[in-house]
A and B are shown apart, each in its own frame.
Chain A
Amino acid sequence: MSKYNITFADIGATVSVPRGTRIVEVAEKVGASIPFGCKENDCGECLVEVLQGVDNLSTPSALEIELLKQKFAKPGCRLACQAMVQGDVTLKPA
């Protein structure tokens, strides 16, 4: 399976993950300072700003887009519990 690098800019850690891994799965384990709430696209707590490779994340669902709008999220922001890695990305808490 293809693997990609996800870099957490806030703690200077890069993790090599299989394609399709959700950011949430790895962020919590590696101790990145991304806050989590429900992890199911409801609370919007896990908002991250993608510094590089925003196109390397899965396309946001209609529900995620709705929540991003409600959180007044800037372009380039995603929910860590929803976005799946499909290429190298660098991100930090929004």
Chain B
Amino acid sequence: MNKPVWLSERVQWIGAFDPDMRSFDVILKTPNGTTYNAYLVRGSEGVAVIDTVKAECADQFFARLEAVCTYAEITTIVLNHLEPDHTGALPELMRRAPQARLYISQSAQLMLKALLNRRDLDFTAVSTGDNVSLGDRNLRFLHTPYLHWPDTQCTYLEEECILFSGDVFGCHFCDERLFNDKVGDFRFAFEYYYARIMRPFREHVMKALTLIDPLPINMIAPTHGPILRDQPTRYLQRYRELSGQRLHKELNAGEKTLIIFYISAYGSTTRMAQAIRDGAEQVAGVRVSLYDMEGGDADLFIDLVEDADGILIGSPTINGDAAKPLWDLLSAFSMVNVRGKLAGAFGSYGWSGEAVQMLEGRMRGLKMRVPLDGVRVKLIPSAEELELCVQHGRTVGEHLTGSNAPRVIDMADLLASRQPEVESNATLTRE
């Protein structure tokens, strides 16, 4: 019970098994639990503990640790990632081994203070190129931020070519056999973990791979799931594939894609969507696609959303709100990186018409850029209003291609836009 596992003569797994956990971080299902992987590295002149475990599993961690070293021997504690499932046992470890020096990434400094709520903290902040010596074993740090928090880093054991990777290359899969050549089929867990945890940060994954690629790798030792000792570079390759272009690029060079998602009760928002498409297509180098969300679920579109340059969402206003399928769509956007994409909303309404601004607000909240006020039409669009939609589509297309004329705007106009309407709507709703 609670025995450590040897990765090599000098490296032991001292983590914890959590087979009964069924959901993780709210966003992941964990149908067979998870592991919290912590490691111990013994050098001729020091012992390092790399990461810890969730507080509730601390007993397992300390039992395994005590089986391979005494607290007085620990010279070094490395934290690759500060999330509580890896730092839960840290305060108690620091109490038992007060002489150990703490090594964290530069970006982890403020987080550590907020996590431990201690003022007297002493630690060393490290980045790529820094290392710590344990005598005949040396740990080298790699600055690999945003995988999946700003603080994340990887630690490389030079003499044994083991990469302690933190959450990256991990997965939620609890199997006491622990090594990838021994455990059950965990491919699903590996892919799912990437999709839900790493995918929004795929650009950072690529940067990290660039740092990792030149290193000879015998073993990847992540903080969750199997230790990857059989063909470890396959997992690096898989991450490279997953972080690359998801859809085959069919566009001509420089062409921009605009996706219009909409839903319509009586066809008015549909006609607006079509008119906006017609306008945007008049701009050279813009390719537009229309999707009626009545015919699709949010998850279907996530690859397209990730790849799109611009996204417009059209919704009627129903009971003072945008329609649910569009909120569902927007709630799926955080599965990918939509930051900085051009965005906008439009829609027909019968009474007060709040949907457009609510959708714009949500998309701004997702750090998309919304440079234009969306078109709103009361009930059935007239020929003039449809022409307005065409013009609006053209302007959106010009913004996408960067062919729009430079604008000079007064702050007062910017602040005034839509404000009176909001007030009158509020009055109307109260009546």
Q: Does B370 contact A (CB under 8 A)?
A: yes
In the complex the two chains form, is A16's CB within 8 Å of B409's CB?
yes
Q: Does B237 contact A (CB under 8 A)?
A: no
Q: Tell me the complex Cα distance, A71–B369, Å.
A: 23
Interface residues of B in 68-114 (CB under 8 A from A): 106-107, 109-110
Known: A11-B369, A31-B371. A70 touches B411 (CB 8 A): no
Q: Does A56 contact B (CB under 8 A)?
A: no
Report which of A26, A33, A72 forms a contact with B340, defined as CB distance below 8 A: A33
In the complex the two chains form, is B407's CB within 8 Å of A13's CB?
yes
Q: Tell me the complex Cα distance, A32–B364, Å.
A: 11
Q: Does B339 contact A (CB under 8 A)?
A: yes
Q: Does A35 contact B (CB under 8 A)?
A: yes
In the complex the two chains form, is A70's CB within 8 Å of B371's CB?
no
Q: Tell me the complex Cα distance, A37–B234, Å.
A: 35
Q: Does A51 contact B (CB under 8 A)?
A: no
Question: A residues within 8 A CB of B342?
Answer: 31
Q: Give the interface centre of B371, B402, B408, B411 by most chain A CB atoms within 10 Å.
A: B411
In the complex the two chains form, is A13's CB within 8 Å of B339's CB?
no
Q: Does A28 contact B (CB under 8 A)?
A: yes
In the complex the two chains form, is B399's CB within 8 Å of A16's CB?
no
Total residues of chain B contacting the partner, CB 8 A: 25
Known: A33-B340, A35-B340, A70-B109. A15 touches B409 (CB 8 A): yes
Q: How many Cβ-Cβ contacts under 8 Å join chain A to chain B?
A: 60
Query: Which residue of chain B has the shortest Cβ distance to A26 in the bound complex?
Result: B411
Distance to closest chain A CB from B174 (angstroms): 33
Report which of B109, B339, B411 forms a contact with A35, defined as CB distance below 8 A: B339
In the complex the two chains form, is A14's CB within 8 Å of B407's CB?
yes
Known: A11-B369, A70-B109. A21 touches B411 (CB 8 A): yes
Question: B residues within 8 A CB of A32?
Answer: 369, 371
Question: B residues within 8 A CB of A45?
Answer: 367
Known: A32-B369, A35-B339. A16 touches B404 (CB 8 A): no
Report which of A13, A26, A72 forms a contact with B371, defined as CB distance below 8 A: A13
Distance to closest chain B CB from A76 (angstroms): 21
Distance to closest chain B CB from A25 (angstroms): 8
Chain A interface mostly: mixed
Q: Does A84 contact B (CB under 8 A)?
A: no
Report which of A16, A31, A93 forms a contact with B411, defined as CB distance below 8 A: A16
Question: A residues within 8 A CB of B410?
Answer: 15-16
Return the CB mask of B406-418 against A: 1 if under 8 Å, else 0.
1111110011000
Question: B residues within 8 A CB of A14?
Answer: 406-409
Question: B residues within 8 A CB of A60?
Answer: none
Query: Which residue of chain B has the shortest Cβ distance to A85 in the bound complex?
Result: B411
Return the CB mask of B102-130 against A: 1 if under 8 Å, else 0.
00001101100000000000000000000
In the complex the two chains form, is A31's CB within 8 Å of B409's CB?
no
In the complex the two chains form, is B110's CB within 8 Å of A31's CB?
no
Distance to closest chain A CB from B142 (angstroms): 15
Report which of B340, B399, B414 forms a contact with A15, defined as CB distance below 8 A: B414
Query: Which residue of chain B has the shortest Cβ distance to A25 in the bound complex?
Result: B411
Q: Does A75 contact B (CB under 8 A)?
A: no
Question: A residues within 8 A CB of B407?
Answer: 12-14
Q: Does A17 contact B (CB under 8 A)?
A: yes
Known: A13-B407, A13-B409. A29 touches B369 (CB 8 A): no
Query: Which residue of chain B has the shortest Cβ distance to A17 in the bound complex?
Result: B411
Known: A11-B369, A13-B406, A14-B406. A30 touches B414 (CB 8 A): yes
Q: Tell me the complex Cα distance, A36–B408, Å.
A: 23
Known: A13-B407, A21-B411, A28-B364. A70 touches B106 (CB 8 A): yes
Q: Give the interface centre of A31, A33, A36 by most chain B CB atoms within 10 Å.
A: A31
Interface residues of B in 389-431 (CB under 8 A from A): 399, 402, 404-411, 414-415
Question: B residues within 8 A CB of A28?
Answer: 364
Query: Which residue of chain B has the shortest Cβ distance to A9 in the bound complex?
Result: B406
Question: A residues within 8 A CB of B340?
Answer: 33, 35, 93
Q: Does B161 contact A (CB under 8 A)?
A: no
Q: Does B304 contact A (CB under 8 A)?
A: no
Query: Which residue of chain A has the shortest Cβ distance to B344 in the bound complex?
Result: A31
Q: Tell me the complex Cα distance, A11–B408, Å.
A: 11
Q: Name A residues whose Cβ lies closer than 8 Å to a Cβ of B.
A: 3, 5, 11-18, 21, 26, 28-33, 35-36, 42, 45, 70, 72, 93
20 contacts between A and B (CB under 8 A): A3-B411, A11-B369, A11-B399, A13-B371, A13-B406, A13-B407, A13-B408, A14-B406, A14-B408, A15-B409, A15-B411, A15-B414, A26-B414, A31-B342, A31-B372, A33-B369, A35-B340, A35-B367, A36-B367, A70-B109
Extra pairs beyond A5-B408, A33-B369 (4, CB < 8 Å)? A15-B411, A16-B408, A31-B369, A31-B371
6 nearest A-B pairs in the assembled complex, by CB-CB distance: A31-B371, A12-B406, A17-B411, A33-B340, A13-B407, A31-B369
